[in-house]
Structures are given as structure tokens and as C-alpha cells.
């Protein structure tokens, strides 16, 4: 018996009368047999392809339904080369995905990305950014149509590898070095910092301090240099404290250090999410009132700053908008429909002005704080 003949036999409907595949689950051939058509017709009917009469289509669909037929995603992926899966990298510190400070940002960004991907028929797979080793295995164990990288590190081997094998990569955060991403989306961090420093100065700040990080990622670098440039422009001596932002405890200590300096600032911008509460607590310890003695702004996506005492002005990077844009760009690249959109997209930020950064009576339109009870 030749291979072809054997083939023939195993594909004939003469086998066990449908419904009894070794697997237990019905396959496309069971449906074909039960519906009295060929497997092509089944495939076409189920996928809306071909030009079948509606009668055939609905009949096949009914039979498939009755048999509880579920197409094999693996087979389809192998055949079409498309998996409908998009990788989402998360930076890992040690064993843990996500950093402490990125948490709220990441969660919101991922939420939006998930939603946007689902709306276009894709699902996200959470994957670790390159770690020491072994992470590579998991990357080659999943068939991806594309990948989103959050805060790509300089020469990330995974990104390079993916791009080299023709898989589109879109990053959240402009790529450092010469990393060859397909497209990227980022905030205009420098403009954001300039804007908020101007806002603080307008509110009467004479010496603005900066609570920043010791790491060299783009966000930290751009924000810090924008601060230094601003200081130089207005002729203020920089007052900077830096700390390892991935350490959940270091922030409070650094906030304390900043307010303990001889050149104590009368306003502070904190680059990371928890800095607002850290600084508020530090101010209390030093008997400083916010906003009377100290103006405060921090970069955060957390809604808690709307109801702290006092409410704290925050810079929002709008991670939801970024997540959505990243996904649109990526899917456009995957499907080859993206010629229209620019591949480098700079997104605006939102300064949500609250009590902590204003010495004069509130008259902003954004997030007006609730009136305080009489003291």
C-alpha cells in the first residue's frame, strides 16, 4: 500500500461512523461525514469563505454545532502562519514580573491593550522580558504574530531576534540605542516635565526639588534632564535625590532625605507613583503643610491621589491611550494595513491639577477638589 493509498483510506468516511474519534472530540472530517459534504465545504462554511449556498452553510453549521465541533487552533496556526497571539513583555526584577513603581501604569496599559487586541480578534500572551537565560525557551514555545515591548532595554536580544525573524515589534517607550523596532509610542516626557515645573513656578515655587530614580531607562533619563534644563533656564540650583525605584521601601527614605537637605525645596516633583504618599508622609514628619509650605506633584495613574489629604496633583501618562495605540500600530503591521499611520507616535500627557500644587484658591476646570471641612 502506498502512502497515498493509506492516506485515502484513513480519510474516507468509511471509518467509525463519526463522533467516535480517538481524541474524543469531533474533527472537521467527522463534521464533513455527518453533514454529507467534503471537509473543504465544512471549512468554507464555518469560515465564511467560498461561495456556498446559504442552505449548505447553515446546514454544516448546525451539524458542527450538534457535534460540538471546535476547530483546532494549532492546526489552523500551522497552516495559515497566523496565531492571533500577541506577546506582551513585562520587565522582570529578579523572579517577579513588573516593578513596584510601574505597577499601576502597567496594569492600566495592559488593560487597554488587552481590550484593543480582543476587539480586533487577537489575544495577549504575557511573556517575560529577557532574563539571564531560560526565558528564551518560552519565547520560542509560543507562536506569535507580533509583540509589544514595554520599556525596551538597550540591545534587547529578544527584540532583535524577533525582528530578525520577521515578527513585528512595537514598543511602549522609545527604544534606546539602535534597537530595530517596527514602531514605537511614547509620551513627550520632556514637555510634560517643563509644563509641570512651569505650573509649580506659577503657583509660587521658588526652589523645586526632584525625586528621581537611579536607573537609566528613557523615562527617568528624559525627565531628569528636562528638569535640569529647566533649572538652568530659570537659574535655579537643582535639588535632586535619586533612589533605586524598583525598591518598594527606598522611596520613603529618599523623600525624607530630600526634605532634610539644607537647601530644602518648597516644591517637589516625584517621578514615580508612590512618591506622592511618600512625600506627603515626609512633609508631615517635618511639620510642613501641603500646599502652604510645600507644593507637590507626582507622576501617577492612581486615583487615590484624588482623595488624599490634601488631594495631590498628578501627571498622568495616559497609559490606556498608549496601550491602545501600541496595539493598533502592531496589528496594522501584522496585517500589512498600516501604511497610513506614522511609526513613531508621541502622545500627550495630562496634568491633573489638585490642591497640592496650588497656593491660591482653586479655579481649575480639571478635577476640582471637594471643599474641605472648616478647620
Partner DNA sequence: ATGAAAGCGCTAACAT
Partner DNA sequence: ATGTTAGCGCTTTCAT
Binding site for DNA (CB under 7 A): 3-4, 6-8, 10-11, 21, 23, 27-29, 36-41, 43-44, 46-47, 49-53, 56, 69-72, 75-76, 78-80
Q: Binding marks (x or -) toward a copy of itself, 80..99, rule CB under 8 A?
A: -x-xxx----x----xxxx-
* Residue closer to a copy of itself (CB basis): 170 or 193: 170
* Residue closer to a copy of itself (CB basis): 64 or 222: 64
Residue 98 binds which of DNA, a copy of itself, none (CB < 5-8 A, kind-dependent): a copy of itself
> Which residue shows C-alpha cell 509610542?
185
* Residue closer to DNA (CB basis): 72 or 225: 72
208-213 vs 183-187, strand pairing mode: unpaired
- Do the beta carbons of residue 242 and residue 249 sit within 8 Å? no
The three three-digit cell numbers of residue 209, written as one number: 526639588
Q: Minimum CB separation from DNA for residue 88, in Å?
A: 24
Q: How far is CA 296 from the centre of its chain?
A: 27
* Residue closer to DNA (CB basis): 95 or 137: 137
Residue 312 binds which of DNA, a copy of itself, none (CB < 5-8 A, kind-dependent): none
Q: Minimum CB separation from DNA for residue 61, in Å?
A: 13
Task: Pick from 36, 155, 191, 286 the residue near a copy of itself by CB under 8 A.
Answer: 286
Q: Minimum CB separation from a copy of itself for residue 298, in Å?
A: 12
Q: How far apart are CA 149 and CA 153, in angstroms?
A: 9
The three three-digit cell numbers of residue 200, written as one number: 509649580
Q: Minimum CB separation from DNA for residue 120, in Å?
A: 18
* Residue closer to a copy of itself (CB basis): 108 or 266: 108
Pick from 231, 227, 229: nearest CA to 242: 227
Contact region for a copy of itself (CB under 8 A) — 49-57, 145-153, 217-225, 306-314?
Answer: 306-314
Q: How far apart are CA 278 and CA 54, in angstroms?
A: 65
The pair phi, psi for residue 292, each rounded to 5°, is: -60, -50
**41-58 residues labelled b (16+ CB within 10 A) or e (exposed):** bbbbbbeeeeebeeebbe
191 binds a copy of itself (CB under 8 A): no
Q: Minimum CB separation from DNA for residue 140, in Å?
A: 9
For residue 99, the tally of other CB atoms under 10 A from its CB is: 20
As beta bridge partners, residue 313 has 297
How open is the CA angle 104-98-126, to the nearest 5 degrees? Answer: 105
Task: Pick from 53, 166, 235, 340 the residue near a copy of itself by CB under 8 A.
Answer: 166
Cβ-proximal residues to 26 (8 Å cutoff; 6+ apart), any chain: 18, 19, 64, 67, 68, 69
Residue 242 binds which of a copy of itself, DNA, none (CB < 5-8 A, kind-dependent): none
Q: Mind giving me the DSSP string for 144-160?
A: -SEEEEES--TT-HHHH
Residue 51 binds which of a copy of itself, DNA, none (CB < 5-8 A, kind-dependent): DNA
* Residue closer to a copy of itself (CB basis): 233 or 285: 285
204 binds a copy of itself (CB under 8 A): no
Residue 120 binds which of a copy of itself, DNA, none (CB < 5-8 A, kind-dependent): none
**Around 126, how many Cα atoms within 13 Å sit in the side-chain half-sphere?**
12
* Residue closer to DNA (CB basis): 7 or 284: 7
Contact region for a copy of itself (CB under 8 A) — 126-134, 193-201, 236-244, 260-268?
Answer: 126-134
Pick from 307, 300, 314: nearest CA to 357: 314
Task: Pick from 22, 48, 54, 121 the residue near a copy of itself by CB under 8 A.
Answer: 121
- Give the binding-site size for a copy of itself (rule: CB under 8 A): 73
Task: Pick from 10, 58, 72, 225 the residue near a copy of itself by CB under 8 A.
Answer: 72
Q: How far apart are CA 146 and CA 82, in angstroms?
A: 10
H helix runs in 235-368, sequence order: 250-260, 275-285, 319-335
* Residue closer to a copy of itself (CB basis): 99 or 153: 99
The three three-digit cell numbers of residue 298, written as one number: 507626582
Amino acid at each position: 500500500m502506498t502512502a497515498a493509498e493509506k492516506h485515502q483510506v484513513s480519510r474516507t468516511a468509511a471509518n467509525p461512523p463519526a463522533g467516535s474519534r480517538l481524541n474524543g472530540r469531533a474533527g472537521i472530517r467527522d463534521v464533513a461525514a455527518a453533514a454529507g459534504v467534503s471537509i473543504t465545504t465544512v471549512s468554507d462554511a464555518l469560515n465564511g469563505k467560498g461561495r456556498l449556498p446559504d442552505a449548505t452553510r447553515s446546514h454544516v453549521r448546525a451539524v458542527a454545532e450538534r457535534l460540538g465541533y471546535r476547530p483546532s487552533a494549532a492546526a489552523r496556526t500551522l497552516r495559515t502562519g497566523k496565531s492571533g497571539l500577541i506577546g506582551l513583555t513585562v520587565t522582570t526584577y529578579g523572579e517577579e514580573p513588573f516593578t513596584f513603581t510601574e505597577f499601576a501604569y502597567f496594569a492600566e496599559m495592559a488593560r487597554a491593550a488587552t481590550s484593543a487586541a480582543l476587539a480586533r480578534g487577537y489575544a495577549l500572551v504575557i511573556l517575560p522580558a529577557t532574563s539571564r537565560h531560560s526565558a528564551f525557551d518560552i519565547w520560542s514555545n509560543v507562536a506569535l504574530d507580533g509583540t509589544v515591548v514595554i520599556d525596551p532595554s538597550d540591545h534587547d536580544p529578544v527584540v532583535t531576534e524577533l525582528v530578525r525573524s520577521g515578527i513585528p515589534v512595537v514598543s511602549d517607550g522609545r527604544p534606546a540605542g539602535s534597537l530595530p523596532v517596527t514602531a514605537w509610542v511614547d509620551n513627550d516626557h520632556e514637555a510634560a516635565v517643563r509644563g509641570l515645573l512651569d505650573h509649580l513656578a506659577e503657583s509660587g515655587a521658588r526652589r523645586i526639588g526632584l525625586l528621581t530614580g537611579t536607573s537609566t531607562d528613557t523615562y527617568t533619563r528624559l525627565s531628569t534632564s528636562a528638569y535640569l534644563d529647566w533649572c538652568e533656564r530659570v537659574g535655579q540650583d537643582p535639588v535632586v535625590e535619586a533612589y533605586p525605584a524598583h525598591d518598594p521601601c527606598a522611596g520613603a527614605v529618599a523623600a525624607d532625605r530630600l526634605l532634610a537637605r539644607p537647601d530644602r525645596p518648597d516644591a517637589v516633583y516625584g517621578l514615580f507613583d508612590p512618591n506622592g504618599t511618600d512625600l506627603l508622609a515626609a512633609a508631615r514628619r517635618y511639620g510642613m503643610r501641603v500646599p502652604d509650605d510645600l507644593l507637590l506633584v507626582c507622576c501617577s495613574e492612581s486615583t487615590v491621589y484624588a482623595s488624599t489629604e490634601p488631594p495631590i496633583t498628578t501627571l498622568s501618562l495616559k497609559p490606556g491611550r498608549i496601550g491602545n495605540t501600541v496595539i493598533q500600530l502592531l496589528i496594522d503591521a501584522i496585517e500589512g494595513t498600516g501604511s497610513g499611520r506614522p511609526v513613531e507616535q508621541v502622545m500627550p500627557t495630562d496634568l491633573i491639577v489638585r490642591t497640592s500644587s496650588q497656593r491660591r484658591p482653586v479655579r481649575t476646570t480639571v478635577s476640582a477638589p471637594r471643599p474641605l471641612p472648616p478647620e
